[in-house]
Structure 1
Amino acid sequence: MSTLDDPRSPRRAPGPGSAAGGFRAFARRRPITALLLVAIPLGWAILGVPALATHGLIPGGDLPVEVFALALTVLVMLPATVWVVSAAEGRAGVRVLFSRTFRWRFGPAWWATVLVALPVTTVAVAVALGESVQTADLASTLAREVPLMLLPIVLVNMWEETVWAGFVQTRLERRHGLLAAAALTAVAFAGIHLPMLLADDDLSASSFLAGAAILFGAALVVRVMVGVFLRATAGSVLAVAVLHGSWNGSTGEGGLVDDLLSGGQPVLAGVIAAVLVTAGVAALVRPALTRRSEDRTDRPAGTTTGS
């Protein structure tokens, strides 16, 4: 039995004329495994295109990896997730999933937290590590970079987290709890993004392994943070999508925090900041962390988690 699927989650009997042995029936029994069987091969194929172009195996030169990541999310991951949820939980399950994607009522304080906690903490950590803040052009930097940080939330992060937080991680929590679910989701999330590391002119075995270690480590930190914030914001996928965008703006090369600081891309400061923010939020919502993810508002009406 796959650890990626919850055997206690709702099942629907095959409809008249359905093929019990078909992939839809398999998706009904093992929805997360079914999603990954579709998404990982297609994801590697899509994200591998920039790598092939970078190394001259196909024409195109240096293709923007972000465009292919967007295509993976919108054209593969999201439709596959909707199909799998429909197979496993019916239309009601799809409605519940998207209700969480647009769940915006989680309080002004949490809105402020998901928007600014990571950038502010990352800057503070970077300063403590010896970097300095570039204040000479602060207003124009903020005016330029804040919209660039927010735009991907609508284009990518909302739909990406509908898949990873709204479906995969939430479903895994029902069986495995917050930390194990975060770890399993991190492995899948990082694994599907591995081909992005190949789009490097100076690629070597050591650089790939180092990049993979950073990718998996950062994914684990982010997925634990996402799990904690899901509990804090009543399961809002929108909240963790904004948080994801804030993370990208805090750690990405040429992002908001990178432009505010001297000393290079602030990945280490961002990871430390994420750990600190997660610990602080976990302390605030500790009672919510001691229970399993059993919020019935995140389930189709009439379904159960029978063993």
Structure 2
Amino acid sequence: MSAPVTAERRLAGIIRRHPVTSFLAWSVPVGQAIAFQPVVAPAWYGVDLPTAPFVVLANLVGLLLPAVVVTRVVDGPAGVRALWRRAVRVRVPLRWYALALVVVPVATTAVAVALLGPPDSGEALAAAIVSGLLVQVLLGFLTTNWAEEVAWTGFLQTRLQDRHGPVRAALATGPLFALQHAALAAGNGWLGGTVVLLFVTATAIPFRFLQGWVANRTGSLLVVGLVHAAGNATTDGSGFGGPGLLPRLYLDDGVGPVHLVASAALGLVVVAATRGRLGGRPRAPRVGAEPVLAGRP
């Protein structure tokens, strides 16, 4: 007589058969419930709550934690170790750090200058680079963007790429990644929030091209997180310690989401230059294995 199947074993079986769906079933409701607390707090609780701590908590509990848990159930300890190695891989050619810390900020600044003209008098450039870019990159990476990219690129986009290829993986990940930012868009009202969310979605897809390419070529989710953090630090900042680079140079603080446009443009260049390969090579999925990398040093 076979042993009865427990609820725990049934749940583990469902997760193994449907890892992406299982991740989203946790990530979307839990992450959004946390992220929306500052939005609903004035009406529900009669208090104003800061946004940044809830964004950090939503990323840790609503993204990183389910990515690790589902990986553990599906691929076992070997899968978690493989994900961790990619998350902390530091040894990559310096050009990839230059992409994050130089190319992304310069491209974003170029978009701002094209749309808004040269900066006003603002802060001195050197001070703005240190406090508005480098410090904000570090804070954003440590509090938010590293966890985001371990989940979005390291877990979700990689698994979709294994099955559907890099372009389809980015096309599927982009709208989900944009949805994560719904609470931030909601601050513009329902109509304005919808427009903002549609814009974020339109730019998120080519941004996922860029992130998939960086991950495939380096095997480093650390660098992927730095690319993400650098774009945010050039405009919005990290949410901690003041504004990013461009708001310190433009006196009216009104640079807008130019980093989304710049990152999307870089992603479109990458997908065209690689002819949709995004640095990846097709392979059969293997439990606990790291992705095959076209450009691993």
Normalising by structure 2, we get a TM-score of: 0.83
- Give the superposed CA RMSD: 2.9
What's the % identity of the aligned pairs? 30
For the 8 Å contact 1:119–1:257, the answer to whether it is kept is no
* C-alpha contact 2:100 2:230 (8 A) present in aligned 1: yes
Which blocks of at least 5 consecutive residues in structure 1 are unaligned? Answer: 1-14
- Following the alignment from structure 1 to structure 2, what is the Cα–Cα distance between the partners of residues 123 and 272? 11
Output the CA distance in 1 between the equivalents of 2:290 and 2:68: 20
1:39 aligns with 2:27: yes
Structure 2 counterpart of 1:207: 192
After TM superposition, list the pairs within 5 Å mapping 1:85-234 onto structure 2.
85-134=71-120, 137-145=124-132, 146-198=134-186, 200=187, 203=189, 205-233=190-218
Q: Which moved more, 1:112-121 or 1:90-99?
A: 112-121
Question: 1:99 offset after TM fit, Å?
Answer: 0.4
How far apart, in 2, do the equivalents of 1:301 and 1:125 lie?
Answer: 39
User: Do residues 244 (structure 1) and 228 (structure 2) align?
Assistant: yes
User: Counterpart in 2 of 1:11?
Assistant: none
Contact 1:50 1:65 in 2 (8 A): yes
Residue-by-residue CA offset, 1:234-261 (whole Å, 9 max, x unaligned)? x211111000001111342732123223
1:282 Cα shift? 5.2
Q: For structure 2, list consecutive stretches of 5 or more residues without a partner in the other structure.
A: 238-242, 292-297
User: Does the 8 A contact of 1:117 with 1:277 survive in 2?
Assistant: no
Aligned length: 282
- Are the structure 2 counterparts of residues 273 and 251 from structure 1 closer, same or farther at C-alpha, using a change threshold of 3 Å? same
- Aligned ranges for residues 258-273 of structure 1 at < 5 Å? 258-261=247-250, 264-267=253-256, 269-273=258-262
1:104-145, CA deviations, whole angstroms, 9 ceiling, x for partnerless residues? 122011111121211111112222334212466222222321
The equivalent of 2:295 in structure 1 is none
Q: Distance in 2 between matches of 1:116 and 1:23?
A: 46
- 2:32–2:58 CA contact under 8 A, matched in 1: no
The aligned runs of 1:281-292 (5 Å cut-off) are: 281=270, 289=278, 291-292=280-281
User: Which residue of structure 2 aligns with residue 53 of structure 1?
Assistant: 41
Q: Select between 175-184 and 24-33 the one with higher mean Cα deviation.
A: 175-184
**In 2: Cα distance, 1:232 partner to 1:223 partner:** 14
Q: CA deviation at 1:281?
A: 4.7
CA distance in 2, matches of 1:153, 1:301: 25
1:276 and 1:46 map into 2 onto residues whose CA distance is 31
Q: Which amino acid aligns with 2:13?
A: A
